Amino acid sequence: MDYLVRGLARNGKVGFFIANTKEIVNQAYEFHRTTPTASAALGRLLTAGAIMGRMLKNDAKITIRINGGGSLGTLMVDANSNGEVRGFVSNPEATLPLKENGKLDVGGAVGTNGFISVIKDLGIKENFSSQSQLQTGEIGDDLSYYFLVSEQIPSIVGLGVLVDVDYSIKASGGFIIQLHPGHDEDDVKYLEDLASKYTSVTDLMDKYKPEEIAKLMFGDDVTFTKQDLKFHCPCSKERFIHALSTIATSDIKEMIEEDHGCDIVCQFCSKEYHLDESDLYKSLELRNNK
């Protein structure tokens, strides 16, 4: 089971989340058959989403969407405060040549001509929604920028996915480390040093467990709590019948009369559903009752 460790360091002025997401990203690879470039991009966003979901309380949910105009298209991840996360990339087959340093060109495949947008459903009337311009398309940098400009929280975000020769996921994970109110220049310097010391997140995740990374970063006496993370898609036939109530009545009638049903594939987990005529009639009834 994947998990994260979370805690406070430097007298409560620094908060950290460090996650191992190898199983989650491998699950996404199996569902979506992502190329290594797509696995790295989606895996980084799944890692960030899983952590940001755990930052919320009381069954709240978060959706993060990125579209930078690159060949991967749209990346979308949603997660909740219970550690459940799911996601997809609209072009899982997209790929680019490796960069000169031998690394996957995530930034090139995501692109920078667009935004990262975050919607939080906190269970209150209005959703929290905010977006910021993509900086490098590498996702970690883009989220650091998002936290600074949209939430006014100085943060370092390190995300990494190591893809094996057979395209399965060898290692995956990352960290979000944030400065809390009351921090001073020494705390800022400490985070800057961490960011320059741990530039290869994939190396870190391949060699160490999250709790070991916490100790490497903040010393042996650091305290933390551990929380599980997993890929989970709550899709079901009933949910799709409800979702169809947003489609025009005439389109549903056409599906009933001409096709006697319809086939739907869940974007998040690739599960296939067949809705027969009675399911489609049910979706018509639902809208009549609204």
Q: What share of the chain is helix, strand, coil (3-state, %, to 5)?
A: 40, 30, 35
Beta strands at 169-179 and 14-20: parallel, antiparallel or unpaired? antiparallel
Instruction: Figure out which of the listed residues 85, 118, 233, 255 binds Zn ion, where binding follows CB under 5 A.
Output: 233
Q: Give the range of 45-53, 115-123, 250-258, 266-274 binding Zn ion by CB under 5 A.
A: 266-274
Instruction: Figure out which of the listed residues 122, 188, 235, 284 binds Zn ion, where binding follows CB under 5 A.
Output: 235
Strand ranges inside the chain, DSSP E: 2-9, 14-20, 61-67, 74-80, 84-89, 115-121, 128-133, 155-163, 169-179, 225-231, 261-265, 272-276
Asked if residue 266 binds Zn ion (CB under 5 A), the reply is: yes
Would you say 199 or 236 has its CB closer to Zn ion? 236
Instruction: Figure out which of the listed residues 24, 72, 269, 280 binds Zn ion, where binding follows CB under 5 A.
Output: 269
Helix (H, G, I), strand (E, B) or coil at 122: coil
- By residue count, the chain amounts to 290
Q: Give the range of 107-115, 141-149, 215-223, 232-240 binding Zn ion by CB under 5 A.
A: 232-240
Q: Give the range of 20-28, 187-195, 222-230, 271-279 binding Zn ion by CB under 5 A.
A: 271-279
Q: What is the spatial distance between Cα 43 and Cα 137, in angstroms, rounded to a whole number?
A: 14
Nearest approach, Cβ of 79 to Zn ion (angstroms)? 14
Asked if residue 268 binds Zn ion (CB under 5 A), the reply is: yes
Asked if residue 41 binds Zn ion (CB under 5 A), the reply is: no
Would you say 230 or 271 has its CB closer to Zn ion? 271
Nearest approach, Cβ of 266 to Zn ion (angstroms)? 3
Task: Point out which residues pair with 175 in neighbouring strands.
Answer: 18, 158
Q: How far is CA 196 from CA 168, 190, 201, in A?
A: 29, 10, 11
Would you say 242 or 271 has its CB closer to Zn ion? 271
Nearest approach, Cβ of 61 to Zn ion (angstroms)? 15
Please give the residue ranges that form the binding site for Zn ion (CB under 5 A).
233, 235, 266, 268-269, 271
